[in-house]
Structure 1
């Protein structure tokens, strides 16, 4: 069943088809009760859509005579940006709708475009190929996303119903600092008012977001994106890894970004360039260690494993395996 926003748009399409539609007819087409239809009508009126109420035996609702939505006027570049944005957003998981909704949205845009431009864009989409497969992501509820965005803008507390990765459900009051899209998922970061600490929550695990009375001050310091990324690097995982690597910050970050590892930078000696190579302490928290030997090999920099011993054994096994491959005779 479509969500409320989708039903309001469907109601507008039904009214635009002309004539007077009874409440019973609209309720049947939308799959809702009559009072819900009336609420959707008021939402359209709030958006300055002139919906008229017709009284009598055959009464109901209709649009004011002569009213039509303005045509969608897009340049070639604008139309290309919109359609490619829909395609890329779905593949990256940065949408709030299922795949079919993205496809119907793209179809509606193509339908109102000039014929020559629609044909050119269809040709592009048919010719377009990707080297990666589209990800399967859990999309957040659009209502939750918009409620949180409103709470961020107006600095209002918001109550959320959240289910963590272990399936535990809880209700929290959040002072939301910002919404962050990262690695194909949506996150909200803010202060959990009950415990007084900053937390990051996945939006697809939030079942409901309700505004609460009151306000809070915007925090100083790192922005929402930096808070989310640094939170990933310091979260509790099965393994805590410490490696000292001889190299520059740029060399290490090219293989171990901030969302994966935290760096403890030593202050350079007097007269030493900050970009110069030196020993840096790298802290990594991970559920698995099997991916790290290949990353350390790709760094191609001297390193010392401080913990755990299991990683040292994996690196030695990785090196032995590569050496055995290199010794094989040419077939």
Structure 2
């Protein structure tokens, strides 16, 4: 997703942010080999950028003193917003943009006055952001191409795989792309169904932007549409259950819809509201891990009834043997 030309620009931004950077550091940040870093340095020099230093595998590089791109000006709130936003990309499943985010962070730091830069770094260092295990990783290049198609109102074609069907080629007029509960979605008119549909980006592949345009409906609310396709929420009981399994081991096994999940005491605290406690009890039994029901009492009653049924079934099986 990250093409060589963008990596070359990232090298330039890192060199501008520091007095010198070793080849090993550049290779680590860019996730390439040291020899590839040497090619990027050579490319900058070919473009007339005054990069000085040793080209060897262990060499350090720096820009000629006095060489700087014109700075931008940000307020304190603007700078903090940008810094935290760059760090939060992984919360949107866009961890592949880490090299670009690192370069943008270096550019941001370079534009700030010394006092403001220290304040932003102090505030940024005091914040920890933890990505939920339910956030689905998304192809950033595919998202970028899709957003371009949305902006240009161009029809897209892609291969789509869902649990209900094998891979199909879909042609869609995408009105909006959005992020909801850990996943990216595209919403628009599906030519195959001739109706509004939503598609998960992590199930899309071989995206092609066609030279065909469409007129998107005015003020289309993709979020409202997507939420309207979810099962209606008719809760009658708040549920609180502790599961003897860490959150990361439950990924893909526990729905995130209308559910709060957090790490607790070496396991997972699950809070939700459900109108069908019988189905929820069966779901808990199917997780194949120990659990403790802290509420509601009605859910405990359901387990008592299920236990009685299991015991009766067991006695019946033994007597008929």
Tell me by how many angstroms 1:187 deviates: 1.0
Aligned CA-pair RMSD = 4.6
Match of 1:164 among 162, 165, 169: 162
1:29 and 2:39 matched: yes
> Which residue number corresponds to residue 116 of structure 2?
117
Cα deviation, residue 319, structure 1: 5.2
Tell me if structure 2 keeps the 8 A contact 1:159–1:173.
yes
Secondary structure of residue in 2 paired with 1:212: strand
Are the structure 2 counterparts of residues 210 and 80 from structure 1 closer, same or farther at C-alpha, using a change threshold of 3 Å?
same
- Structure 2: which 5+ runs fail to align? 16-34, 51-65, 238-256, 260-269, 285-295, 304-321
Indicate the SS of the match to 2:212.
Answer: coil
Residue 129 and residue 14 in structure 1: after superposition, are their counterparts in 2 closer, same or farther (change >3 A)?
closer
Structure 1 residue 201: Cα displacement: 1.3
Deviations 1:168-208 (A, max 9, x none): 43321111011112123221111221232322112233233
- The alignment partner of 1:158 has SS state of strand
> Which of 74-83 and 112-121 deviates more?
112-121
Q: Deviations over 1:191-228 (max 9, x none)?
A: 22123232211223323322112222324685211111
Contact persistence 1:233–1:260 (CA under 8 A): no
Deviation at 1:62, TM superposition (A): 3.5
Instruction: From 148, 151, 156, give the equivalent of 1:150.
Output: 148
Once the 2 structures are TM-superposed, how far is the Cα of residue 95 of structure 1 from its aligned partner? 3.6
CA distance in 2, matches of 1:94, 1:214: 30
Q: Is the 8 A contact 2:178 2:186 kept in 1?
A: yes
> Normalising by structure 2, what TM-score?
0.54
Pair 1:318 & 2:317 matched: no
Is the Cα contact below 8 Å between 1:151 and 1:158 reproduced in 2?
Answer: yes
Shift of residue 68, structure 1, vs aligned partner:
5.8
In the alignment, what sits opposite 1:295? 273
Structure 1: gaps (5+ residues):
18-24, 32-36, 38-50, 52-58, 235-240, 246-258, 262-290, 297-304, 323-331
Matching residue of 1:231 = 229
- Cα deviations across residues 135-160 of structure 1 (Å, max 9, x unaligned)? 24333233322222222223221112
Write the deviation string for residues 251-298 of structure 1: whole angstroms up to 9, x where unpaired. xxxxxxxx759xxxxxxxxxxxxxxxxxxxxxxxxxxxxx79x625xx
TM-aligned CA distance change 1:242 to 1:120, over 3 Å:
closer
| Alignment TM-score, normalising by the size of structure 1 | 0.53
